[in-house]
Chain A
Amino acid sequence: MLRFLEELWLLTGRSLKVTLREPWAVIPNIGISLFFLFVYNAGLSGIGQLPAFGGVPYLAFILPVALVSGSVGGAGAAGQALIRDLESRYFTKLRLTPVSRTALVMAPMLSGMIQLVAQTVLILLVALALGLKLPGGLLAAVGVVVLAAGWGLGFAGYAVGTALRSRSGRTAQAATFIFFPLLFLSDTFVPLTLIKAGWMRVAAHVNPTTYVFDAMRSLLAHGLVAAPLLRGLAAIVALAVVTLGFAVYTAQRTLRDA
């Protein structure tokens, strides 16, 4: 166990190191999240006056969209890092060592999680600078970071699974387009009560992202409230179980004979 943690630490450290050496692979992702935050807040904040928002400032409403898009992007970076190693064949070199197979697959995910947490904290700080009030205090902020990391982990499982399966940067990149329906077929810009299209409401109910948005919004606006938080966590656990299961299954198949 100790050995496993050491291996994971070494491999994650290396993964982070090379990510920082190629920062242009992550900077656009942070940029997009901040862009969401600025543009939607500046352009739409007026609608926050509507009664449907229940007095929650629009900044607190739109911030989770920036955070979730950032965490999904950070998770995608985990898949990209793995693809890079598969393409340079460094991954084969690592497979030749007696290192735990689980550590081999978990390291890029963990490195993606660390990037994502740093990124979430950065976006939160920017939001605070824009005037975000946190009635729930530090605890609420930590809760938001945990939700973002959990959601990102779910995506990292998906990204790593598709990377191992396709072994090609382009296919793995294409697979991340699932991000768009997940991010936008939801109560992304306005509360559900303001969404008129029936199909969109159905989609938003089915889409697990909705529950993550709601959990984050509740944390930001009111602090710890059990019901939305638990629904958000349930959505995260459900996604993570499915995608991490997919990643482990794919890893077991492809690492033994590839």
Chain B
Amino acid sequence: MATLAVLHGQDDSEQTRHSPAALGSGFALAAQGLRKRYGDGAEALCGVDFAVREGEIYGLLGPNGAGKSTAVQILTTLLLPTDGSAQVFGRDIVRDQDAVRRSIGVALQETGVDPLLTGSEALELQGRLYGATRRAARERAHELSGMLQLEDFAHRRIANYSGGMRRRLDLALGLVHRPRLLFLDEPTTGLDPLSRNALWDLVRTVRSESGTTVFLTTQYLEEADTLCDRIAILRAGTVVAEDTPSRLKRRMRRDVIELEPEDPAQLATLLRLVRRSQPSATLEREAVRVHVSHGATIAQELLAAAAGAGIALGGLRVAPPTLDDVFLELTREDGVTDTGEEA
């Protein structure tokens, strides 16, 4: 196997980013150069590498359309990769699908439950499909109904479940066979804050009690932060950063300032002015944008400078970075060469 990626020694975090490409032991999940091109020609994944250690909670963070669900579907044997490879506990996801399916539990972004069954019937059948005896399957179904607060509804048709209950049942179905690796695709989207916290607790419990490795996707920085040991940020099919949440946050704890001149003709002048003190400022549609560590102070300075140069401002925004700001900043910072898009 050739070297998978070149190291870019910008800071220490970059070392961890590409190094664990290993196929060997200790990794619950590893992917090398994973690509997916859909039938219509759209490239959803453009060569993704990562490695998840056993027992780790690993988050794939990205906005709509980044390719999170595509990645999950490939890793769980539902989709074939166009190129690249991946292994679950050393078993190839294409050549050894049965072994992979046996060791993973999955809750996809869209739930998959049969509305005509009751919750306990669905759980029991699921257990039996994994080879449990009727009795063991029944006990496990009961246990999981308790764990996910579904007892009151266990004997009611799933058609009568609320969206949140369906999600919990869907997750329970993924846990029936005590998988060693659990995939959760946006597990908290659509849950109320209480259920969301309960789900976070559950993920932690599953990990601490059975040492289950968890691979989850999310759009929320906060969720990745509280739950994950390591995060990869996916943007347009490319991993733009991978690190622990605290190290990423250190890199990201930057405010965004946007200044918009009243007269668009003065945009270039304003940019030149801002760049005198903030060389990293960029043009963003009708505004000048800059990422700084102390938004309020710098904003004051910039306002004074603009007033001094006689530029009237039509708009001003000072804000902590949104996920989008983080992506924008990260892609610029890392440059195109670092995104794995060698072609």
Q: Specify the chain A residue showing the minimal Cβ separation from B76.
A: A96
CB distance from B294 to the nearest CB of A (A): 48
Tell me whether B200 is interfacial, beta carbon within 8 Å.
no
CB distance from B180 to the nearest CB of A (A): 14
Q: Decide if A99 touches B129 in the complex (CB within 8 Å).
A: yes
A209 to B121, CA, bound (A): 40
Given contacts A10-B128, A10-B129, A97-B126, contact A92 B114 (CB under 8 A): no
Q: Decide if B117 touches A257 in the complex (CB within 8 Å).
A: no
Given contacts A96-B78, A97-B101, contact A88 B125 (CB under 8 A): no
Q: Decide if A18 touches B114 in the complex (CB within 8 Å).
A: yes
Q: Decide if A89 touches B116 in the complex (CB within 8 Å).
A: no
Given contacts A10-B128, A88-B114, contact A93 B173 (CB under 8 A): yes
CB distance from A169 to the nearest CB of B (A): 15
Q: Specify the chain B residue showing the minimal Cβ separation from A100.
A: B98
Q: Decide if B77 touches A14 in the complex (CB within 8 Å).
A: no
A21 to B80, CA, bound (A): 36
Among the listed stretches B11-19, B104-112, B254-262, B297-305, which one makes contact with chain A, having 4 or more residues with CB under 8 Å of it? B104-112
Q: Decide if A98 touches B130 in the complex (CB within 8 Å).
A: yes
The B160-183 residues at the A interface (CB cut-off 8 A) are: 170, 173-174
Contacts of A257 in B (CB 8 A): 79-80
Q: Decide if A22 touches B116 in the complex (CB within 8 Å).
A: yes
Contacts of A258 in B (CB 8 A): 78-79
Contacts of B114 in A (CB 8 A): 14, 18, 85, 88, 90
A90 to B128, CA, bound (A): 16
CB distance from A26 to the nearest CB of B (A): 14
Contacts of A14 in B (CB 8 A): 114, 117, 121, 125
Q: Specify the chain A residue showing the minimal Cβ separation from B174.
A: A96
CB distance from A226 to the nearest CB of B (A): 44
Q: Specify the chain A residue showing the minimal Cβ separation from B183.
A: A96
Q: Secondary structure at chain A's binding surface: helix, strand, loop or mixed?
A: helix
Contacts of A89 in B (CB 8 A): 108, 110-113
Partner of B113, one of A88, A97, A99, A256: A88
Tell me whether B115 is interfacial, beta carbon within 8 Å.
yes
CB distance from B163 to the nearest CB of A (A): 14
CB distance from A77 to the nearest CB of B (A): 14
Q: Mark A220-241, 1 if CB is under 8 A from B, else 0.
A: 0000000000000000000000
Contacts of A17 in B (CB 8 A): 116-117, 121
Q: Decide if A96 touches B101 in the complex (CB within 8 Å).
A: yes
Q: Specify the chain A residue showing the minimal Cβ separation from B131.
A: A3
Q: Decide if B112 touches A98 in the complex (CB within 8 Å).
A: no
A17 to B114, CA, bound (A): 12
Tell me whether B8 is interfacial, beta carbon within 8 Å.
no
CB distance from B40 to the nearest CB of A (A): 14
Contacts of A21 in B (CB 8 A): 116
Tell me whether B102 is interfacial, beta carbon within 8 Å.
yes
Q: Decide if A90 touches B80 in the complex (CB within 8 Å).
A: no
Contacts of A94 in B (CB 8 A): 129
* Chain B CB within 10 Å, residue with most, of A3, A14, A22: A14
Q: Mark A73-99, 1 if CB is under 8 A from B, else 0.
A: 000000000000100111111111111
A94 to B76, CA, bound (A): 12
- What are the nearest 10 A-B pairs in CB distance? A89-B112, A93-B112, A18-B116, A98-B101, A90-B114, A257-B80, A92-B112, A97-B129, A21-B116, A98-B102
B residues whose Cβ falls under 8 Å from a Cβ of A:
76-80, 98, 101-102, 104, 106, 108, 110-117, 121, 125-126, 128-131, 170, 173-174
A-B contact pairs, 24 of them (CB 8 A): A10-B128, A14-B114, A14-B121, A14-B125, A17-B116, A17-B121, A18-B114, A21-B116, A22-B116, A88-B112, A88-B115, A89-B108, A89-B110, A89-B111, A94-B129, A96-B76, A96-B101, A96-B104, A97-B126, A97-B129, A98-B129, A98-B130, A99-B129, A257-B80
Query: Given contacts A18-B114, A93-B126, A93-B170, could you give 8 more A-B pairs where the C-beta distance is less than 8 Å?
Result: A89-B111, A93-B113, A94-B129, A97-B101, A98-B98, A98-B101, A98-B130, A258-B79
